[in-house]
Structure 1
Amino acid sequence: MYRWYIPVLFILLSIIVDIDGRQQSKIRPSMPFKLSHLTSNQRGNRQSTEVQQMNPCNGTYIRTNGTTCGLKEIIIGRCYQYQYTNRGPYFNYQTNTKDCTELYEAFERAVRYKPFCEINMSTYEEYFKLTLKDIKPIDRGMFWSGTNMIAHIYSNNGHNYITLEDTLAAVMLNQLTWCGKANDSIGFDYVNCPGACEENPWSDVAFWGLASKTFAELVTGEVHVVLNGSRDVTDVAFRTDSFFAKFELPNFRRDQQFNVIRVNVLLLHSPDIPIREKCGEKSLLILEDLVRQRGFDYTCEDDPDALLMIMCGNEYNARECQVARRILRQEWDAKLFGQSLQNQPELFLLIFVLFIVMLCAALLT
């Protein structure tokens, strides 16, 4: 009659054991995580992550300060595009093309396995000898300082003028990052390239310094320099430490068969920003002296019309550009709709008022 309690005791004992087991699992320290505990797929994922940390160019974009991923493919691709699609600023249909693989290999020989701080200007001599060979910009060479965007809009990819950045040598590597790595199977550091090198400051300017020097040696006739007369109070239009002052102006030809004969300065003043310098003032006087000392003629023009149009195109709502915008709109409407300007007296009134304002300003200065 008392056998009924046996199943009850068994159930109670099972519950107690189960509760104790759960409590033990809560306080039991977890086992060390070892690679041997992973499945084959998990091992592959972890190994892939470790490799990717060493080489970020492994299929997933990771932003680093190192060499640009796909450097070789980008350089060779740009070379082909420049020659076969863009045709370059000085090509015609008879121009022989350059071997893009050969150009890349010349670049690679210069920098691969070589630490950044061991680079100097002579490092890239072979590359520029090949890429800038046969370039002779006559009366079309353009240089700039503090006017990057405006100068290149004006040059129009080499169709109007030719800047260094319009050449094959620069197009292939512009805005890319690279640095070699010694004792490495890849030979390039894809993680971190030094931004500067205290023990060898020439490494910082080696590529673009030699590029500027070589390009300056090739231009002939009249050259054009676009400068900024609206820089900050602490800055000047012509800086003696600029690339133009250090690498370009000193290397203009003057004693060869084809020489530079004149340096034309185009001095810009940004809309809605105070004028800091004009032609014939301050640092422009220093530049004029340097140019004439080297035996070149010198001219300087404040805000040429073509560059004014470009600046107002970029600063559409600037105060100085609004009057020009209204006049241009009226002229364009006359062209589109056949309206004569004689039927628009308000235009002539506006021009007259503008003339009076300019006259008063001239008398007060």
Structure 2
Amino acid sequence: MNVNSMTSFNGTSSKNIHLEASHSSNKTHSNRSRLKPLTNVNRTKTKPHRVTNQDLLNPCRSPYVKTNGTTCGLKEIMIGRCQEYQYVKRGLFLTNQPYIKNCTQLYEAFESAVRYKSYCNMNMSTYERYFDLALDGVHVINRAMFWSGTYTIAHAYGANGRNYVTLEDTLAAAMVDGLIWCGKENDTEGFDFFSCPYICKDNKWADFAFWGLASKTFAQLASGEIYVILNGSQANHRSAFRNNSYFASFELPNLRQNGTYRVTKVNVLVLHSPDGTVVERCGEKSLFDLEELVRSQGFDYACEDDPEELILIMCSNKWEARECQIARQALRQTWDIKLYGKSNSNRNSLSLIVFSCLFFIQYYSLKIISGSM
């Protein structure tokens, strides 16, 4: 959020601080005006860079050229992330592991799987050695969190492994999350730095070679109670649980049903976006099918719509939404009482009560109508 100090006309700062949600443009562009060059500045022309054959083979050489190919510095980034994960974040993820993994060995296992090889020749076994090395001895007990259509909120709720552990919080995934890579046959570099395909018409498994195996492996590491965050307000009325999702295809079928490290219960949390349409709730449509499927695998099942802590996270992203304004007013009044012993928002109390009554009348009217259908 932007914190804008309100300044009075006499030059003194006001005590009021206005909080407003950041606009999307603020994320990529500065709000400052561009500096105009002085008219009397001598501008010397820079010599144009001669594009050599080496540059054509690898755009990562100076000057850097942005492409849709393999991320420049892939090796250094992956090894650096591996070391940070183990030495800086060790307390979060590795409390039950007494030994350090060899980051260079992990990268070499990854590189040998992809370098000099065509992307469309990959399959679900391509990265097996990499995952075996990276996740050997790991078990996620009562903290594994899966998600579908709720990436941002799931990771905010998980707090980067402090509360719950997502796939992206594991070493194997953290080393490559957000990166692009693909091999290239008969090439001196062995990687394609210009363009990586995302779809292989003749081999659908190439598209799942890494993240499909990552999802499958993560599911096999989960034990005890697990958590699944789904979106009950999908665009175009899409189902919260879909048979072609990563969760349905790779994670749910690979949850352990037996042994010491088996899954005992699946807790589903269904979110509905502020000011968004409620497409389905617990026990309805695809969520009914999910419950049947989970119980058929021998797991206990529980489902909850919009837990309070997740409502707060959703409202932090859509503070001006109708439902969030009610929570905003109530929170402000409660906080004022904590600070000053009384609420300073009495002028808004009547409008808040009226707004709340109208909201709940509308809510229960819709509930009665839907229940009678």
TM-score for both structures, normalised by structure 2? 0.81
Aligned pair count reads 321
Query: C-alpha separation between the residues in 1 aligned to 2:351 and 2:282?
Result: 31
The corresponding residue for 2:329 is: 326
Q: Which runs of 5+ in 2 are unaligned?
A: 1-46
Q: How far did 1:83 drift?
A: 1.5
Alignment equivalent of 1:55, drawn from 58, 69, 81: 58
Tell me, yes or no, if structure 1 residue 272 matches structure 2 residue 275: yes
Query: Among residues 93, 112, 116, which one is paired with 1:113 in the alignment?
Result: 116
Q: Secondary structure at the match of 1:162?
A: coil
Change (3 A) 1:88 1:163: farther
- Whichever of the two has the greater Rg, that structure is 1
Q: Is the 8 A contact 1:65 1:191 kept in 2?
A: yes
Change (3 A) 1:72 1:91: same
1:164 correspondence with 2:167: yes
**What is aligned with 2:203?**
200
Measured in 2, the distance between the counterparts of 1:361 and 1:124 equals: 50
The structure 2 residue matched to 1:362, chosen from 355, 361, 364, is 364
Partner residue, 1:25: none
CA shift, 1:58, in A, is: 0.5
Following superposition, the deviation at residue 274 of structure 1 comes to 1.0
Which residue type is aligned with residue 79 of structure 2?
A: I
- In structure 2, the residue matched to 1:219 is 222
Say if 1:352 and 1:133 are closer, same or farther in 2 by CA, change over 3 A. farther
Measured in 1, the distance between the counterparts of 2:55 and 2:359 equals 66
Q: Secondary structure, in 3 states, of the residue corresponding to 1:58?
A: coil
Q: Deviations over 1:52-100 (max 9, x none)?
A: 1221010222121211111101100111111122226322397322111
2:84 maps to which residue?
81
- TM-fit CA distance, 1:112: 0.9
Letter in 2 for 1:218: L
Distance of aligned partners of 1:201 and 1:226 in 2 relative to their CA distance in 1, 3 Å threshold: same
Instruction: Give me the whole-angstrom Cα distance separating, in 1, the residues matched to 2:97 and 2:234.
Output: 44
Aligned to 2:259: 256
- What are the Cα deviations for residues 15-68 of structure 1, in whole angstroms up to 9, with x where unaligned? xxxxxxxxxxxxxxxxxxxxxxxxxxx9x953x433212210102221212111
Q: Within 1, Cα distance between the matches of 2:280 and 2:166?
A: 24
2:107 corresponding residue in structure 1:
104
In 2: Cα distance, 1:351 partner to 1:223 partner? 39
- In the alignment, structure 1 residue 134 sits paired with structure 2 residue 137: yes
Letter in 1 for 2:233: S
State how far apart, in whole Å, the 2-side matches of 1:65 and 1:351 are: 53
Indicate the structure with greater helix content: 1
User: Is the CA contact (8 Å cut-off) linking 2:336 and 2:343 kept in structure 1?
Assistant: no
Which digits, 9 at most, give the CA deviation of each residue in 1:221-269, with x for residues without a partner?
1110000000123411001000000000000010222211111110000
Displacement of 1:335 in angstroms is 1.3
User: For 1:294-305, what aligned pairs fall within 5 Å after superposition?
Assistant: 294-305=297-308
Partners of 1:277 and 1:190 lie apart in 2 by: 43
- Give the direction of change, closer, same or farther, for the CA distance of 1:112–1:357 in structure 2 (3 Å limit): closer
SS at the partner of 2:303? Answer: strand
Over 3 Å counting, the alpha-carbon distance change for 1:222 and 1:348 in structure 2 is farther
Q: How does 1:312-323 map to 2 (within 5 A)?
A: 312-323=315-326
SS in 1 for 2:93: coil
SS at match of 1:134: coil
Partner SS for 1:199: coil
Change beyond 3 A, Cα 1:175–1:356? closer
Deviations 1:156-213 (A, max 9, x none): 0000000001111111001111111122222111112112111111001110000000
CA RMSD of aligned residues (A): 2.4
> Aligned partners of 2:273, 2:363: CA distance in 1, in Å?
19
Determine the structure 2 residue equivalent to 1:209: 212
Q: Separation in 1 of the partners of 2:201 and 2:348?
A: 64
Q: Which runs of 4+ in 1 moved over 6 A?
A: none
Q: Is residue 113–residue 181 contact of structure 1 (8 Å, CA) maintained in 2?
A: yes
